[in-house]
Structure 1
Amino acid sequence: MRTQVAIVGAGPAGMVLAHLLHAAGIASVVVERRTRDYVEGRVRAGVLEQGTVDVLARLGLDGRLRSEGLVHTGANLAVDGASFRIDMAALTGAAVTVYGQQEVMRDLFDAGEARGLAVVYEAQDLRLHDLDGAAPSLTYRTPEGPQHLVCDYVAGCDGFHGTSRRSIPADVLRTFERIYPFGWLGILTDVPPAAHELVYASHANGFALASMRSATRSRYYIQCGIDERPEDWPDTRFWDELCLRLGPGTAGGIVRGPAFEKSIAPLRSFVGEPMRWGRLFLAGDAAHIVPPTGAKGLNLAVSDVVMLAEALEAFYAHGTSSGLDGYSARALARVWKAERFSWWFTRLMHRFPEETGFDRRMQLAELAYLGTSRAAQTVLAENYVGLPLDPPPVSTSVAASLSAPSANLRGMCP
């Protein structure tokens, strides 16, 4: 079997890329290790940046999103019980839309079937071959037997634990990582949300978040120890602690109900560079992970594949490879800005084990400044609703500076 672009992974990055390539008349095959039900059923983020919504609309995938998604023009920050609102729309002219990743995946899969996109599920023992040659290929096994797929390019969209990033030679790949010393204990429950917009809380006991998936389904989180288990938090204990951290204003709107999903997610910041090696291009979680504070994961995946699709379209339509050559530097420029925001917001809102009294006072001082400064609120709002796609690097020296900033800075010193 042969195609132009082989896409490894049928998550948000892989399926949005498949739709983008289909719209451009570029053939692709998506190869996924799991079943559709598994991929669609994963509980993940639910806040879509304006740019992500625009991409889904451009692809004709926004029907249910427009009717069922919840448009939020602002968000609330609570500090030891007292809260203030950031008016995102007034500060940036943009908003975010709450629409769960499960729903996004359902829309991508349903439209993919209707459009005849080639998606292979339950592909086991996947191997990537000749990525630095002229004809890369994939081998894998399905219930029908061994398969061999030859292509022009490979898009690695198979997540943090996938095969794609591990296929880059160790002497080429550089990784940057921060593991956070706590997790998020999250529940899903079929009760109305406590507030109309998200509430991020910084409390002496730790972080909390009041979120939702719909007008009748709520998603709540509290910061917990990395070694704790969901069983350590029976529903009554969870609800009591959540109400305490959110403060009386938000807690007054909470409707307690049984949790039908309860899990603890670790927090990590991670970037792998470069995002291109030979004819392999990384996108989404295969290249980077952000902590969920700020909800950048799915949105970064979409911005990656928009850039990659633009580069592939330019190559197949005009024979130019400049977009492909510049993809890694262009994508990483936006990735690191999102990493910075997620790291900053996580550091601001959580309690760290090594934190001193001075550190907590600094958090409170910055939160107080955010509550009164339009300039500070604008910076937060711009990052929260989503920064625009970065333009291609203006020269190779820019790409070099992104890959080796410390060396370049040393060169500037007298």
Structure 2
Amino acid sequence: MKTKVAIIGAGPSGLLLGQLLHLQGIDTIILEAKSPEYVLGRIRAGVLEQGFVDLLREAKAGERMDREGHVHEGFSISFAGKQERIDLKSLTGGKKVMVYGQTEVTRDLMDARAASGGVTIYGAENVELHDLYSDSPRVTFQKDGDLIEVECDYIAGCDGFHGVSRKSAPKDEIKTFERIYPFGWLGVLSRTPPVSEELIYACHERGFALCSMRSESLSRYYVQCALDENIDEWSDERFWSELKARLPKDVAERLVTGPSIEKSIAPLRSFVTEPMKFGRMFLVGDAAHIVPPTGAKGLNLASSDVYTLYHALRKTYSEGRADLLEKYSEICLRRIWKAERFSWWITSVLHKFDGDPFSARIQQAELAYYTGSLAGLTTIAENYVGLPYEPVE
């Protein structure tokens, strides 16, 4: 098999990159180890920055999002017995976010690729990357017992934190930076109306909580928990009781509870790989970086990686500007570290740490300052809606 760009991973970043390149006449093959059903079963983030929304529209995969997604002009932070609203629209010159689940984004991109006739191979086993530093890299994999080889110009590693792409980078050329947080998030998905039209982030002495949503009838809630918690010990009743205890009284009183559809515990970490380019292989999204979900940046950072790689590849093929691919890591990492900073900061001020009383008072003072200052509110808002994408030129 031959193609211009071999894409490893059929999650949102791989599918989005493939669709954008296809619309520019650049052939791609996407290889995915799991089944389509497995990929769609991943329950992940659902707050999309304007940049991601625009890319989905450019990929001709945004019609259902525009019809069913929820545009949010703000969100709230509750702490010290009060609730402060961050008016995203007024603080950022009109920018907003779109609440639309990652599962739905993935489904739309799958449908768009199928309609375009793009090749996606699911159940690709034992994927290996070869000759990354040559002019003709290769990818081999097994499918139905057959060994298949893909010859390509470039490889995009969009296969996540545990994928083969980052593992294929030379060990003496890759650096990693990591911070593991001493708690996790216990998340519940329920077929209940959201408690609020906008997200509510709660900083409480019992721990962090978040009220989010997927639709008008599907809600996503989280509470901070210990990393060694046994999820079997968290009944629905216990979860709802704990969530209510961490929310403002008026919010807790109007919370509609119901049976959980999905319940899971996720650890929190910050992680960055440098560089993100190894010969003709490029790491994209979670393959290169992880952020704690507090700042809603994981999926959106993957989108900005896709934006950068897409435009560098487009100009390489249309204008002969292969020099732009050499700038991929540099461009991406500038935005990544700023998003890592914001995600670390908002995580540090909203969660309960096992620290001394002085640190807890500093945390409250930090929240009071930022929400009581126009400059502070603007800083939160402009980071939350997403920093601008850097031009690829």
How would you bin the TM-score normalised by the shorter chain? over 0.9
Once the two structures are superposed, what CA deviation does each residue of 1:180-205 show, in whole Å capped at 9, x if it has no partner?
11000000000000011000000001
Contact 1:284 1:300 in 2 (8 A): yes
Tell me the SS of whatever aligns to 2:139.
strand
Alignment partners' CA distance in 1, 2:127 and 2:268: 28
Contact 1:174 1:274 in 2 (8 A): yes
Contact 2:311 2:392 in 1 (8 A): no
Once the two structures are superposed, what CA deviation does each residue of 1:36-88 show, in whole Å capped at 9, x if it has no partner?
11111210001000111111112221111111101100000000442110000
What residue in structure 1 maps to residue 123 of structure 2? 122
Alignment partners' CA distance in 1, 2:57 and 2:392: 24
What residue in structure 2 maps to residue 206 of structure 1? 207
Structure 1 segment 352-391 matched on structure 2, within 5 A: 352-353=353-354, 355-391=355-391
Contact 2:80 2:364 in 1 (8 A): no
Tell me the SS of whatever aligns to 2:295.
coil
Alignment partners' CA distance in 2, 1:241 and 1:273: 40
Contact 1:80 1:201 in 2 (8 A): no
What residue in structure 1 maps to residue 191 of structure 2? 190
Structure 1 segment 228-243 matched on structure 2, within 5 A: 228-243=229-244
- Structure 1 stretches (4+) deviating beyond 6 angstroms? none
Specify the code of the residue in structure 2 equivalent to 1:301. A
Tell me the SS of whatever aligns to 1:293.
helix
Tell me the SS of whatever aligns to 1:181.
strand
Specify the code of the residue in structure 2 equivalent to 1:11. G
What residue in structure 2 maps to residue 98 of structure 1? 99
What residue in structure 1 maps to residue 165 of structure 2? 164
Specify the code of the residue in structure 2 equivalent to 1:187. V
Contact 2:304 2:389 in 1 (8 A): yes
Specify the code of the residue in structure 1 equivalent to 2:216. A
Contact 1:20 1:306 in 2 (8 A): no
**Structure 1: unaligned runs, 5 residues or longer:** 394-414
Alignment partners' CA distance in 1, 2:349 and 2:118: 43
What residue in structure 2 maps to residue 113 of structure 1? 114
Specify the code of the residue in structure 2 equivalent to 1:134. D
> Would you say 1:17 and 2:9 are equivalent positions?
no
Contact 1:81 1:245 in 2 (8 A): no
Structure 1 segment 13-412 matched on structure 2, within 5 A: 13-92=13-92, 93-143=94-144, 145-353=146-354, 355-391=355-391
Tell me the SS of whatever aligns to 1:170.
coil
Alignment partners' CA distance in 2, 1:234 and 1:82: 29
Alignment partners' CA distance in 2, 1:164 and 1:76: 38
Specify the code of the residue in structure 2 equivalent to 1:256. T
Tell me the SS of whatever aligns to 2:78.
strand
Once the two structures are superposed, what CA deviation does each residue of 1:312-341 show, in whole Å capped at 9, x if it has no partner?
111111112121010010001111111000
Tell me the SS of whatever aligns to 1:307.
helix
Alpha-carbon shift at residue 232 of structure 1 (Å): 1.9
Aligned length: 392
Alignment partners' CA distance in 1, 2:57 and 2:384: 20
Tell me the SS of whatever aligns to 1:306.
helix
Specify the code of the residue in structure 1 equivalent to 2:215. S
Alignment partners' CA distance in 2, 1:189 and 1:195: 14
Alpha-carbon shift at residue 252 of structure 1 (Å): 2.0
Alpha-carbon shift at residue 146 of structure 1 (Å): 1.4
Alignment partners' CA distance in 1, 2:324 and 2:98: 30
Alpha-carbon shift at residue 144 of structure 1 (Å): 5.8
Specify the code of the residue in structure 2 equivalent to 1:112. R
Contact 1:81 1:249 in 2 (8 A): no
Alignment partners' CA distance in 2, 1:26 and 1:144: 29
Contact 2:127 2:139 in 1 (8 A): yes
Contact 1:211 1:218 in 2 (8 A): yes
Alpha-carbon shift at residue 392 of structure 1 (Å): 5.1
Contact 2:312 2:392 in 1 (8 A): no
Alignment partners' CA distance in 1, 2:127 and 2:136: 17
Alignment partners' CA distance in 2, 1:127 and 1:153: 14
Specify the code of the residue in structure 2 equivalent to 1:167. S
Alpha-carbon shift at residue 302 of structure 1 (Å): 0.8
Once the two structures are superposed, what CA deviation does each residue of 1:363-390 show, in whole Å capped at 9, x if it has no partner?
1111111221111010000000010012
> Would you say 1:8 and 2:46 are equivalent positions?
no
Alignment partners' CA distance in 1, 2:38 and 2:261: 17
Of stretches 259-268 and 53-62 in structure 1, the one that deviates more from structure 2 is 53-62
Q: RMSD in angstroms over aligned alpha carbons?
A: 1.0
Alignment partners' CA distance in 2, 1:77 and 1:185: 19
Tell me the SS of whatever aligns to 2:257.
coil
Contact 1:175 1:271 in 2 (8 A): yes
Alignment partners' CA distance in 2, 1:184 and 1:46: 16
Alignment partners' CA distance in 2, 1:113 and 1:144: 25
Of stretches 184-193 and 20-29 in structure 1, the one that deviates more from structure 2 is 20-29
Tell me the SS of whatever aligns to 1:206.
coil
Once the two structures are superposed, what CA deviation does each residue of 1:189-233 show, in whole Å capped at 9, x if it has no partner?
000000110000000011000000000011000000000021121
Contact 2:5 2:28 in 1 (8 A): yes
Contact 2:20 2:58 in 1 (8 A): no
Tell me the SS of whatever aligns to 1:94.
coil
Specify the code of the residue in structure 2 equivalent to 1:204. E
Alignment partners' CA distance in 2, 1:390 and 1:35: 34
